[in-house]
Amino acid sequence: MTYKMKIMTLSSAVSVMALAAAAQDQVSLTVVSWGGAYTESQQRAYHDPYMAANPNVTIINDDGSANALAGLRAQSQAGNVTWDLVDMLPSDAQLACDEGIILQIDHDEMLAPAPDGTPASEDFLPGSLGECFVPSIVYSTVLTARPGAFDGEQPDSIADLFDLENFPGKRALQDRPGTNLEWALYADGVAPEDIYDVLVTPEGVDRAFAKLDTIKDEIIFWSEGAQAPQLLADGEVAFATGYNGRMFNAIEVEDMDAAIIWDGQIVEWDGWVIPADGDNVDAVLEYMHYATDTQRLADQAKFISYGPARESSAALVGEHADLGIDMAPHMPTAPANYKSPIVLNNDFWADYGDELRERFANWMLQ
């Protein structure tokens, strides 16, 4: 009798537990990002702690950010949205937002305030929040050179990228017009703040391409962020342009022999958008609230040298999680690095990107 009762109690306990588990639905979130060291930093700063605190949430990484806009459009048109959260650039985010395929963000409603109570809309760096876009980092595209490629004098400016006489060798540039056209004009003597005024004119575009022509034969194009440091490490190229975080990772963590040239660094935001019509919008909003709070943004800087997009996070940036080196001097926004930055103009690229991408593709073909 007692034995039977035991069994009954046990089985009812088990079924109660099963019910409780079912009540807290399992959610699987597909987070699209840039892969490599960057996704790794998000994994450690955001995904892992969030999954530890919310056992019912599983986060799956998808390295699709290089084609985020095309992917969002295709999924929206097909009526089959499989991405839950997408890491993308603000220019593309603005286009997606205009097309209505990503959610509008009510910043103060959906994002965490700073620890001192400052609302999110005032805590994020000025101009960084978009209608549909929540920035997480400030990153920059920088020129990096391999000292072993040159005898004696080392390059220290963007002009040196275009100086084949003193600094011969292959150059790895990204296969898109953004950054390359800006640098061509900068190297041709245009001041950083005037670059877009020049680039808006047909003569300015011709001038930029003419400058790029001078190094055309020495260019290897890269498309994925991880390729640039790889080309440097393999000794394939003398210069490579690349994302500063990747370069930091290759130089400091993987001991690559290379030096970042901060002159003319092209500064931009990067952050999250939420596809409209996704299946897990509530769960994603909850996750994003967590992943963009002050502490989490500061945490990410422990794993990769991108600056947090919140003012309140700056003070919390400490040492690298594995290396123990101070991260502040490696931030693009550190005063020593921020002497001649070019701030990427997203409005310009949203308006003129279609045409310039065609022209750039044509130029690459020749």
Partner 1 sequence: MAVSDASDNDVAIGNETDSKGRLVTSDGTPLRRALQRANRRRKLTALGLVTPLLAFIMIFFAYPIVQMMWRSVDNPAVVDALPRTLDALEDWDGEALPGEDVYRALYEDMIADDKLERRDQKMGPLAVRLNYEISAARGAIVRTSRKVDEFEPPYKEAFLDAHRLWDDISLWRIIKREGRPLTAAYYVAALDREYNADGEIVLRDDNRRIYVALFGRTFGLSLAITLMTFALGFPIAYYLSILPMRKANLLMIAVLLPFWTSLLVRTSAWIVLLQGQGVINDTLVGLGLISDDARLSMIYNQTGTIIAMTHILLPFMVLPLYSVMKTIPVSYTRAAKNLGATPGPRSAACIFRRRCRG
Nearer to partner 1, 102 or 301 (CB): 102
By C-beta, is 194 or 351 nearer to partner 1?
Answer: 351
Crossing angle of the two packed helices 202-213 and 346-365, in degrees rounded to 10: 50
**Residue 267: CB minimum distance to partner 1, A:** 22
Smaller CB distance to partner 1: residue 236 or 252? 236
Whichever of 116 and 151 has its CB closer to partner 1, that residue is 151
Q: Answer yes or no: are the C-beta atoms of 357 and 177 closer than 8 Å.
A: yes
Residue 362 Cβ vs partner 1, minimum distance, rounded to whole Å: 5
Q: Are strands 171-174 and 307-308 parallel, antiparallel or unpaired?
A: unpaired
- CA dist., res. 204 & res. 185, Å (int): 8
CB-wise, 171 or 302, nearer to partner 1?
171
**Alpha-carbon gap, residue 154 to 156, rounded angstroms:** 6
Token pair recorded at residue 285: 């909003």
149/297 with CB nearer partner 1? 149
Q: How far apart are CA 91 and CA 177, in angstroms?
A: 14
Nearer Cβ to partner 1 (115/168) = 168
Q: How far is the CB of 229 from partner 1 (least distance, A)?
A: 14
Q: What's the rounded Cα separation, in Å, for the pair 134 and 115?
A: 18
User: Residues interacting with partner 1, by CB under 8 A?
Assistant: 95, 97-100, 104, 170, 209, 220-221, 234-236, 276, 347, 350-352, 354-355, 358-359, 361-363, 365
CB of 349 to partner 1, least distance (A): 11
Choose between 55 and 235: whose C-beta lies nearer to partner 1. Answer: 235
d(CA 341, CA 333): 9
Min separation Cβ 181 and partner 1, Å: 13
The least CB distance from residue 79 to partner 1, in Å, is: 12
Q: Counting Cβ atoms within 10 Å, is residue 1 exposed (0-12), middle (13-18) or buried (19+)?
A: exposed
- What is the helix (H) or strand (E) element at residue 48, kind and residue range? helix 48-53
Contact between 91 and 262 under an 8 Å Cβ cutoff? The reply is no
Q: How far is the CB of 239 from partner 1 (least distance, A)?
A: 14
Residue 95 vs 134, nearer CB to partner 1: 95
Q: Give CA separation, 4 vs 7, 8, 17, 89, in Å.
A: 5, 6, 20, 63
**Residue 22 CA: distances (Å) to CA of 111, 281, 283:** 29, 19, 16
Contacts of 317 (CB under 8 A, 6+ apart): 298, 301, 302, 307, 308, 327, 328, 331
Provide the minimum distance between the beta carbon of 281 and partner 1 in the complex, in angstroms, as a whole number: 13
Q: Is 333 helix (H, G, I), strand (E, B) or coil?
A: coil
